[in-house]
Structures are given as C-alpha cells and as structure tokens.
Amino acid sequence: MTLKISISGVRGIYGETLDDEIIKKFGVAFARFAGSGTVLVGADTRRSGSAVKAALFRGLRFDGKIKIIDVGCLPTPTVQVLARALGADGAVIVTASHNPRQWNGLKFVRPDGIFLPPEDAQRLLTLYQEVSAADLERTREGRLAVETKFDAGDIHLEKIKKIVDLDLLKRSGLRVVLDTCCGAGALLTGRLLDCLDVPYLQVNSAPDIEQCGRPLEPTAENIAGLGQQVREFGADIGFAQDPDADRLAIVDETGAAVGEDYTLCLLAEYMLDLLRQGRVAGENKLCTNLSTTRIIDDVAAKYGAEVIRTRIGEVNVSVAMKKNRAVAGGEGNGGIIIPAVGYGRDSLAGIALLLQYLAESKRKVSELIAGNPRYFMHKTKLDCTSAQQVADILAKLRARYAAEKLDTQDGLKVTFADGNWLHIRASNTEPIIRIIAEAETKARAQALCAAALD
C-alpha cells in the first residue's frame, strides 16, 4: 500500500500514488478547516518538496482567504513551535518522516503546535472528501501570493537556549558527532551546537536526503556507522536524527547504539530530577504511549512520578501532556516532548538537554544507561484482511488473558504479574496487526509474541 491517508496525515510516492490533485485537495480541505488567517508551510529536504509545496499552495489559496507563509526547510518540531509563537491559524509540514526517499507527505498542525487530534483529523478527512471538481478548478486560477520567512528557525533555537545553562555547556569539554540524515535538521542542528559552544563533527550534513549514506530511520542497525565516527572523533555522545528531525537516537561514548527507547528514558529521568529541584515547571507526571518500554515506569518509580499511557500516535501523547501538565513525555521511537519548548517530538531540545545532563552529572552515557534495568523488545506482525479479523483476534486474546491486567484503549495490552507485557493492535497506516512484547530476555519476548499468534 503506497498511499496512506489517515488521521496522521497523508504519505505516498510522489508522482505515483501521491499526485498534485490529492495534494491540492488537502490544501483546499485545510484552508476550510482553518477558515481564514495564516497558515505556515515548512518542509524536509526531499527533492520533491518544492513541487509538493507548489501544489499545496494552490489548494490553500483556492478562495483567497488564507495567507501563506513559507518558512522553508525546517525540522517538524520547529514548524510546530513556530505555529504557536507566530500566532498562526495552522501549519502544514511537507514530509514523509522516515519513509523511503521517493515518498513525501503532509502533516497538519493546529495553532497550539500540536498535530490534529482524532476528532479534528476526521473532520479534515471529511472536508477532503467533500472537495469538488469546481473547487479544484479554482486552484488553477489567479496569481499565487506566498510570503517567505526563512529565518524563523531562530525562534526555536532561542527557546531551547533558555532551558539550558550555556556557560556550563561551554565549560563542559563535551564532544559530539551529529548525524543529521541530510534532512531538515542538517542546517539548524549544527547552528544549535554552535550556540551551545559544543565542539562537534557533523556527518550526513548536506540538506538533501538523496545524499544520506544510511537508511533514513535512526534505528540501532541503521546508525552503526555513527558508532565508528564517535570512536574516531573521541566524542562523548553521538546523535542521529530522521529526515524531519522529530526523532533522536543516541550512540554512547564506546560507539554502541543504545536504542531509541533510551532517548526518552534518559530525558525523562533528567526532567524528573530537575522538577524535584524546582528548576522546571509541571506536574510529577510522564506521558507516553502503550508500546513504550517499561523502563519509563522504573524511572518514574525513583521519583514517585505517575506514568500516563495513551493510544499510539504523537498527538495522543501531546494532548495528554498538555491536559496533565506533565513535565516530560514522548514515544519510544526516539521522540522526546519537552513542554517548555513545545508539544511536538523535538530532537533539538533533546540534544541540548542530554548534553546538559552529561555536563551536570559528569557521567558517561553508558553509565547513565546502566542505572536502569535492561529489557528486550520483540516486534512482529500479522497480515490483516478485515476489521472483523482484528475484532475476532482481540476477543480471543481478551478471553485467554482475562486474569491479567488488560488495557483496551488501543487494541489490547496485557501486563503480566512479572511486569512483562504484550501489545496487539491494528496498524493505523498498513493492513496489518502489530504484535509487540517486552521481557527480561529476548527469548521470553519472542515467546510472548508467538503465544499471541497461536
């Protein structure tokens, strides 16, 4: 399936399943969703970005009520921050995140910098389906007026600088290797490290993902080369982003990729400690989704903090964080949300805070990781032919695990007495059922997944 239209936005292979008509229809729909006022448009570094933006602009301007500001090539979290900071009526980000290079897509943002929650996303999809041939004809008319603001990334950098101790970082002696994936973070993230006065080596630095020398998703397997560069540079830490720079993965001082889950867990522990010291605002709560590692619960237990679990999807975590005034949160794919900066997954804020954590603790990344238990996650999937198949599987498993702790807000999550867990849910973007388990050993996690398939 190479066109994905869901509450998360739209993604497809540009020029094949994702064409200008679909993009213009979404532009018309979002213009009606916003009503009037200003819409920001940003993009990652895919070569199809300029063509996608041109079609999007036509759709947004179909009735002349929307003022468009093109903020250029910027990370997704930066555009989210800008939507709120500039008082925009919404924003659209042209990106396919970590999907392969030939893909592109659209992410939609509301005025407070949060992606559209399910009810708003469904309304946008309804408006999309209602776009008529006459509406599309209007997108071809008239002169296209678009303002530009290509220095807007400075607003994001200033917000991040306010949450760290610049003098401490300057004196820290820390060294960094930065893999920006030739993506939207390629220009802005280096500028951030310049502001922090931290020496760094940047790789995959050209703002063109066609030139990226690794697969785009920053999984441990895909960033193995970063480990070698960390060792050669004598760095204290390596950071890897994805194409739109909302996700952050870490390599420790030995060159070992520690896994995306640990990004969130390290930041959560640091933020809870800052909260205990009275140095940050918020409640003693963390928000994350149902499939995030149980290490987050171990971290929270050290500080007597509450962990609030949500359905899968960044927006669900963001909304829960805002509602509960959580001090931090995010997702186990390397997505960190720091409310003091914004309510989007933000690799740049994560980089700054992790460097401050290292500087203050005077400990190595491997030592910080070793301070929490080690668990193993296993993921598999099952082809899904219908909603009825999903319902039948979930009903069978609910009956089988009735004696265990069950959470049914997103499929079925089973938490066993020993803390191990199993999560079964229908994918939002593919015709599959996802099955994830976590346990003390890889074999046990695999066995839990196998039992669910039996």
CATH of the domain at 389: 3.30.310.50
Contact by Cβ (8 Å): 91, 39: yes
Looking at 154-280, which runs of residues are DSSP E strands?
Answer: 176-179, 200-203, 237-241, 248-251
Within this chain, do residues 159 and 146 fall inside the same structural domain, yes or no? no
Same domain flag for 135 and 42? yes
Same domain, 267 and 333: yes
Q: Tell me what percent of the residues of the chain surpass a pLDDT of 90.
A: 89
Same domain for 104 and 162?
no
Whether residue 131 sits in one domain with residue 207: no
Is pLDDT of 332 > 70?
A: yes
- In this model, does residue 320 exceed pLDDT 90? yes
**Does 2 have pLDDT greater than 90?**
no
Domain end point (choices 339, 370, 401): 370
pLDDT at 142: 64
What's the number of domains the chain is made of?
4
Clarify whether residues 7 and 140 are in a common domain: yes
User: Could you give the angle at which helices 347-361 and 153-161 cross, rounded to 10 degrees?
Assistant: 20
CA–CA separation, 315 and 276 (whole Å) = 27
What does the pLDDT read at residue 432?
84
Cβ-proximal residues to 306 (8 Å cutoff; 6+ apart), any chain = 284, 285, 286, 300
Q: Are residues 398 and 435 in the same domain?
A: yes
- What pLDDT, on the 0 to 100 scale, is given for residue 1? 54
> In the prediction, which pLDDT does 140 show?
85
| Residue span of the structural domain in which 421 resides | 376-453
Query: What pLDDT, on a 0 to 100 scale, did the predictor assign at position 385?
Result: 78
For residues 125 and 176, membership in a common domain is answered with: no
Question: Are residues 31 and 144 both part of a single domain?
Answer: yes
- 267 or 99: which carries more pLDDT confidence? 267
For residues 167 and 188, what is the distance between their CA atoms, to the nearest angstrom? 21
Active-site annotation, residues: 97
**143 pLDDT more than 70:** no
- Residue showing tokens 């003098």: 167
The strand pairing partners of 249, in sequence order, are 240
Does the pLDDT value for residue 336 go beyond 60?
yes
Do 409 and 313 fall into the same domain? no
What distance in Å separates the CA atoms of residue 338 and residue 329, rounded to the nearest whole number?
A: 7
What are the tokens at 296?
Answer: 């987050």
Secondary structure of residue 68 in the 3-state scheme: strand
Specify the residue for token string 């940050």.
280
Residue with tokens 């599987």: 393
pLDDT of 260 reads 87
State the CB neighbour count (10 A cutoff) for residue 365.
Answer: 23
Looking at 204, 228, 251, the residue that finishes a domain is: 251
Domain boundary, last residue among 150, 168, 199: 150
Q: How high is the pLDDT of residue 331? A: 93
* Range with top average pLDDT, 6-15, 62-71, 429-438: 62-71
Report pLDDT for 259.
86
Could you tell me if residue 97 is left (phi over 0), alpha (psi between -120 and 50 degrees) or otherwise beta? left
Round to whole Å and give the CA distance between 284 and 356. 21
Residues 7 and 138 in one domain: yes
Q: Report the DSSP beta bridge partners of residue 259.
A: none
Give the Cβ contact number of residue 132 at 10 Å: 10
Mean pLDDT of 373-400: 91
Q: What is the pLDDT of residues 229-253, one digit of tens each?
A: 999 999 999 999 999 999 999 999 9
Please determine, for residue 288, whether its predicted confidence score (pLDDT) is greater than 70: yes
Mean pLDDT of the chain: 94
Q: Which domain CATH number covers 196? A: 3.40.120.10
pTM value is: 0.95
Encode pLDDT of 10-67 as tens digits: 999 999 999 999 999 999 999 999 998 999 999 999 999 999 999 999 999 999 899 9
Residue 227's Cβ-side half-sphere holds a number of Cα atoms within 13 Å equal to: 15
- The confidence band for 305, taking pLDDT boundaries of 50, 70 and 90, is very high
Query: pLDDT per residue over 163-187, tens digit each?
Result: 999 999 999 999 999 999 999 999 9
Which strand (E) or helix (H) includes residue 31?
helix 20-34
Give me the amino acid identity at 247: R
297 forms beta bridges with: none
Q: Based on the fold, state whether residues 180 and 84 are members of the same structural domain.
A: no
What is the Cα–Cα distance from 131 to 58, expressed in whole angstroms?
Answer: 14
Please check the confidence at residue 6 and state whether its pLDDT lies above 80. Answer: no
Q: What is the pLDDT of residue 107?
A: 97
Mean pLDDT, range 342-355, rounded to an integer: 97
Which element (helix H / strand E) includes 228? helix 224-233
Residue 387: its pLDDT value, please?
A: 85
Identity (one letter) of the amino acid at 437?
Answer: A
Question: What confidence tier does 144 reach under pLDDT thresholds 50, 70, 90?
Answer: confident
